[in-house]
Every structure is written in C-alpha cells, then in structure tokens.
A and B are shown apart, each in its own frame.
Chain A
Amino acid sequence: KAGVTQTPRYLIKTRGQQVTLSCSPISGHRSVSWYQQTPGQGLQFLFEYFSETQRNKGNFPGRFSGRQFSNSRSEMNVSTLELGDSALYLCASSWGLAGSYNEQFFGPGTRLTVL
C-alpha cells in the first residue's frame, strides 16, 4: 500500500512570492492534515481537511490556506512568503471518521526555503 506522497520535495522561493504544495493521502484515507516543522517551534498544526471541508485550523495567519479535492488529495498555499516561512511542511493522512482509529501517517515533507 503506497504511503503519503508530497510534491515537490524541495522548493526555493523569494520573499513576496506564493507557493503551492501538494499531498496525496494513503488510499482510502479521507482526512488530510498539514503541519509546519521548524527548529525553533517544532511541529505545529496548520489545518485539517475532511471530505473537502476544513474541519480544524491552527494559529497561523490567513496567508496560509488549503483545500481538498474529491479524491482526498490536498493542496496548501502560502501567499506573500516571508523569511520565517522557511520550514519543512508535512502532510498527514488518516481515516478521519469521528470515533474511529485515527492514527496519522506522515509524508516525507516539502522543504521550503525562502530567500
């Protein structure tokens, strides 16, 4: 069974640009969550999508947004990039149904560098 895939694996952007990251969950998983990982702040929750709807959102500015498609694939977008947005962006998938086992399985991440 294929795991979570993320594309691209590496990105270099300059301040002020925008970026779109993609995530394909494990087959059958309907929930996709996004996390940001930095050396200073660790892993922080960005948002979660289930059945194309955002169910939960972390404490990040509106420049960070996402969406989910009918096949459960998800994208996240960061607009007007800042130097502090440099991080490893991780996507995690799970079955997502309330009350079910909801272990989250992570992809390899997208390393974003903002210059």
Chain B
Amino acid sequence: EDQVTQSPEALRLQEGESSSLNCSYTVSGLRGLFWYRQDPGKGPEFLFTLYSAGEEKEKERLKATLTKKESFLHITAPKPEDSATYLCAVQPGGYNKLIFGAGTRLAVHP
C-alpha cells in the first residue's frame, strides 16, 4: 500500500536554528515527490518537485533532497515567517493522484 510518513509531527525552532524535516515513503512506481507549505486556513502552496533519487532543489532558506526511500526538507537559518505546516506528497504511477503525509507543524520563534 502506498504510504507517506512525516516526522517530526511538530518542531519548534529558534530563529536562525537550522533543522531538517523527514518524509519517508513507500509507493509503487514513484512519478514524483512534492513538498508544499500550508498556512492556517489556506490551501497548500507548492514548493518543490523531486523526480529521481539524488535530486536536490533549493529555494531561499529551503533545500529538498530525495533518496529511494525518503526525502528531507532542510531549513537553513529559519525566520518566524517560515512558520507553517510542511506537507510531503508522492505521486504514484497513474495520473495526478497525490498521497499526502500528515505534515510537520513548524514554529520558528524570534
């Protein structure tokens, strides 16, 4: 069964304290792994797509990496505005169905 597990469930950081979020997955025929950011009461905001093991993508303070079993979202020197829930999703073979993890709630304090 296709499954996505994110850890930790919640993470509290001080401003400037770097850390990583984990997304482990089991999926038949991975077409892509997606990272989204979601603020309370809003729809998920697209961050990255990773397609193959070894791939890395960066955007401002965020860097996403992918292996055959998991993905990491590294946050370097976070700021309070990075506080949000970060969602990981995989797209198995077969059109546009996304399977989401439960998310990591990140709180960055000044």
Contacts and interface: CB of A to CB of B under 8 A. Distances in A.
A90 B96 contact: no
A56 B96 contact: yes
Nearest to B99: A45
Interface in A1-38: 4, 31, 33, 35
Nearest to A40: B102
A98 to B, nearest CB: 7
A35 B36 CA distance: 14
Interface residues of A, number: 28
B10 to A, nearest CB: 14
Contacts of B44: 43, 90, 106
A43 B102 CA distance: 8
B45 A96 contact: no
B96 A48 contact: yes
A90 B46 CA distance: 14
A42 B103 contact: yes
B45 A106 contact: yes
Contacts of A103: 34, 46, 49
A65 interface: no
A55 B43 CA distance: 23
27 contacts: A4-B43, A35-B100, A42-B100, A42-B103, A43-B87, A43-B98, A43-B100, A45-B97, A48-B96, A56-B94, A56-B96, A56-B97, A90-B43, A92-B98, A102-B31, A102-B96, A103-B46, A104-B34, A104-B96, A104-B98, A106-B44, A106-B45, A107-B43, A108-B43, A109-B42, A109-B43, A111-B41
Interface of B: 31-32, 34, 36, 41-46, 49, 87, 89, 91, 94-103
